[in-house]
Amino acid sequence: MGGKIDELDIAKLKEKYSPEMLYNKGYFQYYEDSLEWYFDPERCMLTSLDDYQRLVLCDNGLYMDWDQYHSNYSTYESDLAYVKFCEELANETKWFEDYLVLIAVKDKVTIGQWDKVKNIVYLQALKIALRIRVVSLMQIMAGFQEYIWSMRFDCCNYKDFDGVYFEVWKRVAKQKMEFTDALSELYREDMFPLRNVDIKDELDNIRYDIYVACIDETVPENEARQLIKEAVIKMVHRTRAKILEVTAQNRGDNSEAKLAMDN
């Protein structure tokens, strides 16, 4: 029979099950896989680095450009500057989304026009970087490419979906229309050109019944719209590759949490 945990001889257990043996048997694998960050042993040997620079993101396949990130010994201050750079770039180039819609709906933007628009966004990125100063050229290029990719992803996968289902909900829940009739009306009236193909697909789908039909007609419209926005995310359910901006933000949060515990 086994004894109680507090009655076990810890020294004998350590002698019988050495850390090396447990490691080789994969005893710690499940625990290690659950960690998103770890202190890199090789970086811990470099006296020129601080603890923040020794904290490394696990290579679990979820992040873009992990090798590039891993080769960069960024500091806490430079990561904060990079997050600020990405936020300001998004705030100062919101007009960029209009061009993405034109491309997606009617392919109205030529290759030359598209290159010109991207160059304008890149110049804005350079201006922001000059204001912040701490941001490196590598971070500028990474932030620019990630921003373009992120905006295109959101436009293709999320934009206007909440509006489509909100209008359908108003017709079905409040006007008591049949679902297919409501959706057909949106399609005929071309209310959401960006989503016409998806509306046609939805006529043969049941996503509305699963995610939206449960919202009662007595729910205020502003609350219903928010619930539908959340439902759209569940419907699309596509994994966006995490990017350096998120990495820097999370790394900073982890560092702040560690400092709080140390203090």
Q: What is the mean pLDDT of the segment spanning 219-246?
A: 68
Determine the pLDDT at residue 242: 45
**Are 171 and 227 in the same domain?**
yes
How many residues belong to the chain? 263
Shared domain for 118 and 149, answered yes or no, is: yes
Q: Does the pLDDT value for residue 192 go beyond 80?
A: yes
pTM of the model: 0.59
Q: What is the DSSP string of 162-218?
A: HHHHHHHHIIIIIS---HHHHHHHHHHTTS-GGGHHHHHHHTT--HHHHHTTTS-TT
**Which of 120, 155, 190 marks a domain boundary?**
155
pLDDT of residue 253: 61
Decide if 48 is inside a domain: yes
> Which residue do the tokens 């350590």 mark?
14
151 and 165 both lie in a single domain: no
Looking at the structure of the chain, the number of domains it has is 3
**pLDDT, tens only, 149-171:** 888 888 877 788 888 889 988 99
Structure tokens at 161: 């979906």
In this prediction, residues 28-42 reach a mean pLDDT of: 77
Domain housing 219: 161-236
Question: How far is 130 from 141, CA to CA, in rounded Å?
Answer: 14
pLDDT in tens, 112-129: 777 888 899 999 999 999
Side-chain half-sphere of 160: how many Cα atoms within 13 Å?
Answer: 19
